[in-house]
Amino acid sequence: MTDIIHFTIATVAEQSADFRRVLWTGEHTQLVIMTIPPGGEIGDEVHPGTDQILTFVSGTGEADVAGQTRPVAQGELVVVPAGTRHNFRNTGANPLVLYTVYGPPDHADGAVHATKEQAEAAEEAGRDEPPTA
């Protein structure tokens, strides 16, 4: 039997200014927290075989999903089905903090990228691949 895995997301968010931090990776899902600086964005992307659920912890922004744009704020959740083009932008004066659940995992277990540029470099170098089954 495994121990309970527990996070207080607001506390984790306050303690992590990293662009992307993998908090937990399971066989079928992955929990990641992201902090997008003012004026920043995740970047236009598609995950062909991965569903994504994003929950916004603080800040304000815009969600572009499947060609539609809408504002997002604390307490809201956005679902991005596999194969759907998407991007999330910070439109506020404070960091846009969110956590996302990927199914299946999309990033290397334990990956920490302080900036978007580090995240992109890791992806290009193949160092941000999810664990293999």
Percent of the chain with pLDDT over 70: 93
Distances (CA, A) of 73 to 54, 62, 76, 97: 11, 8, 6, 9
Per the rule left: phi > 0, alpha: psi between -120 and 50, beta: everything else, 43 is left
For residue 28, give its domain range.
16-91+113-125
Mean predicted lDDT score pLDDT of the chain: 89
pLDDT the model gives residue 128: 63
Q: Which residues fall within 8 angstroms of residue 121, CB to CB, at 6 or more apart?
A: none
**Number of separate domains in the chain:** 1
- CATH code of 36's domain: 2.60.120.10
* Predicted confidence (pLDDT) at residue 26 exceeds the cutoff of 50: yes
Residue 77, in any domain of the structure: yes
Question: 91 is written with which tokens?
Answer: 């439109």
Residue 130, in any domain of the structure: no
Name the residue among 88, 125, 93, 85 with its Cα closest to residue 108: 125
Residue 83, in any domain of the structure: yes
Band (pLDDT 50/70/90 cuts) for residue 127 is low
Residue 117, in any domain of the structure: yes
Q: What is the pLDDT of residues 38-52, one digit of tens each?
A: 999 999 999 999 999
pTM: 0.83
Residue 78, in any domain of the structure: yes
Residue 60, in any domain of the structure: yes
Residue 7, in any domain of the structure: no
Residue 131, in any domain of the structure: no
Cα atoms in the Cβ-side hemisphere of radius 13 Å centred on 71: 7
